[in-house]
Structure 1
Amino acid sequence: MVTTSEIPAPADAVELLLERFSSVKANAAELLVDCHDSSSAAFVTVDDLEQRPVVVSYGELRDRSMRLAQLLTDMGVRRGDTVAVLMGKRVELPVALAAILRIGAVYLPLFTAFAAPAIESRLRAASARIVITEPSQAEKLDSIAGIETLVVGAEFDARVAAAQPLESAASVGGGGTILLLFTSGTTGAPKGVPVPLRALAAFACYMIYGLDVREDDVFWNAADPGWAYGLYYGILGPMAIGRPNILFNSGFSPETTVTVIRKLGVTNFAAAPTVYRALSAAPGIGGVSLRRASSAGEPLTPEIAEWAPSALGTEVRDHYGQTELGMVINNHWHDDLRLPAVNGSMGQPMPGFTCGIVGGQIAVDTAQSSLMWFTDYHKDARTAGSRFTADKRWYLTGDTGHVDAAGHFHFGGRDDDVIIMAGYRIGPLDVESVLITHPDVADVAVVGQPDELRGEVVAAFVVLKAGQVGTEELSGELQQLVKTQYAAHAYPRVVHFVDELPRTASGKVQRYLLKGRG
């Protein structure tokens, strides 16, 4: 078992984690469930704020997953098969994950906000024929031919309880695939990312050094486990280091989020930037005392940095990663690595990763990054090959950025999103970070649109706060704001006032959908 109290200096910690999770005999069920004290908490579930939270122990997780593994085996699931899970943050989700891994099968997460076509496309791409789901989601699967479902509930519980525990767990080794996770598709069609067991070493490293989850913390990663950040660091990461996470199975609102933090005494909180934006915009939200607060998914906007210390009791630290990498560059919280956060920076590389700038892109040095685990997309070697330099030395993230004199990395934007206007390279984030400071602006996205003279010009899509109206005068104010607060050449030549921005299900702006709008 790896616990935070056993972790030595960063360099030695990386070796310890690699030794544990990269062995040719590595067994995911053993490493995530069976090695932990059966009486210790694995997850804390909250379905109703009026009721007491339910603590799920590792012993319970082990027994239920062993029985579900046998049930899945009886249904014909074998090592290497893919089993999908479509459900919210309920205890059956980690039970299903552990059961699938016991067989040596592959876990395919499906986001509950997906409609049937999005679900079917992922099931077909992954060749999955069994889906474990919940009653509220089961109807989406009715029209998908060739799919067998297990729906959690009383009948499901009875079948699992009646099954004999599957005593032996498959060892797939550090290189064996345990997850197949599809990207969110910010710049095109989603791509399948096979995640090997050895990736758990990188996930555990982030839990320790990026988030600084300690044994006395009450940890809550509020991200959805249908996506990388919630699955990697709300389910797998906590299990890898034996620390419980809170599973709040209810819809998001700023008020309920603060209620959970207060009621359960949360000290270490992680969420997407959209959560912090919603919290900061809600009246009366504050008076919270967190020890650590972390954000990932998109860069934080300046007003969050100003709002957080008084409202949450701590600053919010920005972290950077991808589905293909996990988190790799962070404003680390751990005492051994914590530095003063630099405005607009995502921090410095995590132990086990060496990063740089190659061709204007943020890149990972594969030869010097022992925790690097991505090698290929699912059935798409050609696309994967384009993510690496010709000599395979560097993995190219597709995100532009730069490194300042102190070694802090700064995000510029998706390489596909960088605006080249009359030879100038303009990062959308730089312009967005200025526009969002206007008191009338609630949300904003910046893209490049074709221009006969300049090649491209900056176009801003602006969502206004309630009660505000888009006018030519306001457009002029926004343009002048960028001229004075960022750069005269980078102001938006066109300002579109819109009701909402197109986002992926995980909350990322789909700028490519905006580029074709007039």
Structure 2
Amino acid sequence: MTAVAADRVVEELESWLDAYAAPDACAATLLNDGHAPHAVAFRLLDAGYGERVLTHGELRDLSSRLATGLAERGVGQGDRVGVLMGKRAEYVVTLLALWRLGAVLVPLFTAFQTGAIETRTSGSGARLVVTEPSQRSKLDPIAGLDVLVTGDEFDALLTREPLAAPVAVGGDGLLAMLFTSGTTGKPKGVPIPVRALAAFRAYMHFGLDVQDGDVFWNAADPGWAYGLYYGILGPLVAGRPNILLDAGFSPDATREVFTRCGVTSFAGAPTMYRAMSKDPSFTGFSLRRASSAGEPLTPDVVAWGRDALGVEVRDHYGQTEHGMCIVNAWHDDVREPVRTGSMGPVLPGFAAGVVDGQIALDVEGSPLMFFRGYHDAPEKSAERFTPDGRWYLSGDIGRVDEDGHFFFASRDDDVILASGYRIGPFDVESVLVTHPSVVDVAVVGKPDEVRGEAVTAYVVLAPGAVAGDELAVELQQLVRNQYSAHAYPRVVHFVEELPKTPSGKVQRYLLRQRQD
């Protein structure tokens, strides 16, 4: 990075921190009211690809009216409100209405069933949920909830007089309470303050390099961190519209949106890229940027992207607790060549290292870090920091090279100890997924009397592939030849699907519990 670029980076970070951490910071002003009324806030596509453009002026008017209606229902500053809705206009209008009142969003993923919804509403203290008709029945068994459903009741609130002025909650005031995905245990509430917008803005700018004129599409669901932070909040605060497709993911749907909308910058989960890479017809695009986050990106997808998308897919790392913090950044001021298997260096505004084998953030050296602890969980919060409070411990095992590039190995709980060796599942999975018969794979350690643990692979096959001993031997030999003889899977199971959280992360602890 040149001296001029370094000065520019510092100046931009300081300006965002000053604005979003200020005592009088107002979420609605930062996210909506500061943009020109005619500027596009979101491009909304329904399942049939019908498009509606929502401008900042429309969003301002509708959300101000809804805020008045919600206030009539007793919603005020600090109140937690669940939102259980697809990616439609009413969704973003509801979010802005809550933030105008200083209320706190509790995102609820539409694939959740009643139990998962109740965990989050009771854990956050939410007493109102705004939803759509297709989701309404999930809320019936939950006692004590007030429910507002889109349709006539919702639309009537949009006829109210606009709220006179939005509530300024300050940089430490809460925007949202987002629960972790439950990869390793019970979901925990993560408070998201207004000052977190500085971190989201930094990633949009430096990490994704979304520029004026880009057609940006973050396809992640806003019920989870990557979709909420960088599909809703990041685009709003940066003034860079996002596409919201109110339909499930598929390679066919992705191809359609790419073509219809002329997408130039795409962000999504590794599972999306893997599915696209297994479709031979998914090719011929010319994106300017392609970014991945959620789980480590296997090298075969990076290679595929150069041919099919016209650009390499860059891997980025983060967690619900702090957003993206280690990235193969795209912006010219900070971009470096990608090193195979690396998640990249730290995002400007963060400082990181490796502590006791874990990827860790230097709290004092990370002005963009907003996590201070989980909601009502002091013991779990303490586990996230070293005793002196200096380091935030991610729980992810990794390493950093001499130039500051980070490499992921596994979750701390997922390391396999076999015959005295520490084996990271990701390294083995990265080899196995290159086999043309493999669509998805997860590797875990299972108890073994001789080795301590045996490397065990659970493999999802491509259509037409034949499971059996012959293929299992092929996969074992592939790992021996391309990675290491000590790490090949002693056992290979062929399964229909892998257990995953709704955000797409593999729940390896469930595989370890299986009695195959």
TM-score range, shorter chain: over 0.9
1:346–1:410 Cα contact (<8 Å) kept: yes
Residue 383 and residue 48 in structure 1: after superposition, are their counterparts in 2 closer, same or farther (change >3 A)? closer
Question: Which amino acid is the alignment partner of residue 200 of structure 2?
Answer: F
Question: In the TM superposition, what is the alpha-carbon distance from 1:59 to its structure 2 partner?
Answer: 1.0
Residue 170 and residue 17 in structure 1: after superposition, are their counterparts in 2 closer, same or farther (change >3 A)? same
User: What RMSD, in angstroms, separates the aligned Cα atoms of the two structures?
Assistant: 1.3
Question: Which amino acid is the alignment partner of residue 241 of structure 2?
Answer: P
Residue 345 of structure 2 aligns to a residue whose secondary structure is strand
Counterpart pick for 2:171 among 151, 170, 174: 174
Residue 84 of structure 1 aligns to a residue whose secondary structure is strand
Aligned-partner Cα distance in 2 for 1:88–1:64:
18
After the TM superposition, which residues 337-356 of structure 1 pair with which residues of structure 2 at under 5 Å, given as runs? 337-356=334-353
Partner of 1:309: 306
After the TM superposition, which residues 133-148 of structure 1 pair with which residues of structure 2 at under 5 Å, given as runs? 133-148=131-146
Partner of 1:324: 321
Residue 114 and residue 353 in structure 1: after superposition, are their counterparts in 2 closer, same or farther (change >3 A)? same
Residue 220 of structure 1 aligns to a residue whose secondary structure is strand
Question: In the TM superposition, what is the alpha-carbon distance from 1:306 to its structure 2 partner?
Answer: 1.6
Give runs of ≥4 in structure 1 deviating > 6 Å: none
Residue 321 of structure 1 aligns to a residue whose secondary structure is strand
Residue 337 and residue 493 in structure 1: after superposition, are their counterparts in 2 closer, same or farther (change >3 A)? same
Aligned-partner Cα distance in 2 for 1:502–1:239:
33
Partner of 2:289: 292
Aligned-partner Cα distance in 2 for 1:479–1:253:
30
The Cα offsets for residues 374-419 of structure 1, whole Å up to 9 and x where unpaired, read as 0110110110110100111000000011112332111101011011
1:421–1:455 Cα contact (<8 Å) kept: yes
Partner of 2:91: 93
Question: Does the alignment pair 1:225 with 2:222?
Answer: yes
The Cα offsets for residues 184-226 of structure 1, whole Å up to 9 and x where unpaired, read as 1111111110111100000000000000000111111111011
Residue 383 and residue 310 in structure 1: after superposition, are their counterparts in 2 closer, same or farther (change >3 A)? same
Question: Does the alignment pair 1:509 with 2:506?
Answer: yes
Partner of 2:3: none
Partner of 1:15: 14
Question: Does the alignment pair 1:278 with 2:275?
Answer: yes
1:225–1:234 Cα contact (<8 Å) kept: yes
Question: Which amino acid is the alignment partner of residue 416 of structure 1?
Answer: D
After the TM superposition, which residues 359-508 of structure 1 pair with which residues of structure 2 at under 5 Å, given as runs? 359-508=356-505
Residue 496 and residue 261 in structure 1: after superposition, are their counterparts in 2 closer, same or farther (change >3 A)? same
Partner of 2:67: 69
Residue 388 of structure 1 aligns to a residue whose secondary structure is coil
Question: Which amino acid is the alignment partner of residue 215 of structure 1?
Answer: D
Aligned-partner Cα distance in 2 for 1:148–1:428:
44
Question: Does the alignment pair 1:151 with 2:149?
Answer: yes
Partner of 2:127: 129
TM-score by length of 2: 0.97
Question: Does the alignment pair 1:260 with 2:284?
Answer: no
Question: Which amino acid is the alignment partner of residue 40 of structure 1?
Answer: A
Question: In the TM superposition, what is the alpha-carbon distance from 1:356 to its structure 2 partner?
Answer: 0.5
Q: How many pairs were matched up?
A: 510
The Cα offsets for residues 346-377 of structure 1, whole Å up to 9 and x where unpaired, read as 11100000011111110000011111110110
Counterpart pick for 1:358 among 334, 347, 355: 355
1:222–1:271 Cα contact (<8 Å) kept: yes
Aligned-partner Cα distance in 2 for 1:438–1:256:
25
Question: Which amino acid is the alignment partner of residue 507 of structure 1?
Answer: G
Question: Which amino acid is the alignment partner of residue 112 of structure 1?
Answer: T
Aligned-partner Cα distance in 2 for 1:416–1:11:
37
Question: In the TM superposition, what is the alpha-carbon distance from 1:474 to its structure 2 partner?
Answer: 2.2
Question: In the TM superposition, what is the alpha-carbon distance from 1:423 to its structure 2 partner?
Answer: 2.5
Partner of 2:102: 104
Could you tell me which runs of 5 or more consecutive residues in structure 2 were left unpaired when the two chains were aligned.
Answer: 1-5
1:49–1:260 Cα contact (<8 Å) kept: no
2:326–2:346 Cα contact (<8 Å) kept: yes
2:274–2:439 Cα contact (<8 Å) kept: no
Question: Which amino acid is the alignment partner of residue 274 of structure 1?
Answer: T
2:275–2:439 Cα contact (<8 Å) kept: no
Aligned-pair identity in percent equals 60
Aligned-partner Cα distance in 2 for 1:466–1:255:
16
Counterpart pick for 2:196 among 187, 196, 199: 199
Aligned-partner Cα distance in 1 for 2:334–2:142:
49
Aligned-partner Cα distance in 2 for 1:467–1:242:
46
Question: Does the alignment pair 1:36 with 2:23?
Answer: no
Residue 515 of structure 1 aligns to a residue whose secondary structure is helix
